[in-house]
Structure 1
């Protein structure tokens, strides 16, 4: 998994009733775009995330189209 600042992290809900989470990647701490990522969620909170298999990075270019 590789990401750039401004990409979106999409974390799929793992259980019925748990919504997906979307957040903007504001910092990439791993080498060559790898995790972990600092992600800002719409409510303003920021978290250090090590994405699992239920996560997808959506590129800035993909989001804007």
Structure 2
């Protein structure tokens, strides 16, 4: 896993809940962990060694992922309401 400051860490737990945090600092060699991450859910900062269900996205990748999610929701609402 490689990251740089400004990337996003998505960490999914065993129950399938994903939390998202901004990578503020990279302390490992060549972009490797640990990362200082500011979590969006509570603005808490932690030093993280990401587990196997975590992934790093660039800001562009995160924007694309969010746009795809929004599009799926809008399609589902249209299918449900017929509008």
TM range (shorter): 0.7 to 0.9
Shift of 1:60: 2.1
Higher relative CO (Cα under 8 Å, sequence separation at least 6) belongs to 1
Structure label with greater radius of gyration: 2
- Could you say what the CA RMSD is over the residues aligned between the two structures, in angstroms? 1.3
Correspondent of 2:34 among 28, 33, 36: 36
Residue 23 (1) aligns with residue 18 (2): no
Match of 1:12? 12
Q: What TM-score, normalized by structure 1, do the two folds share?
A: 0.87
More helix by share: 2
| SS of structure 2 residue aligned to 1:53 | coil
Q: Which runs of 4+ in 1 moved over 2 A?
A: none
Which consecutive residues of structure 2, in runs of 5 or more, have no partner in the other structure? 65-83
Which consecutive residues of structure 1, in runs of 5 or more, have no partner in the other structure? none
Q: What TM-score, normalized by structure 2, do the two folds share?
A: 0.69
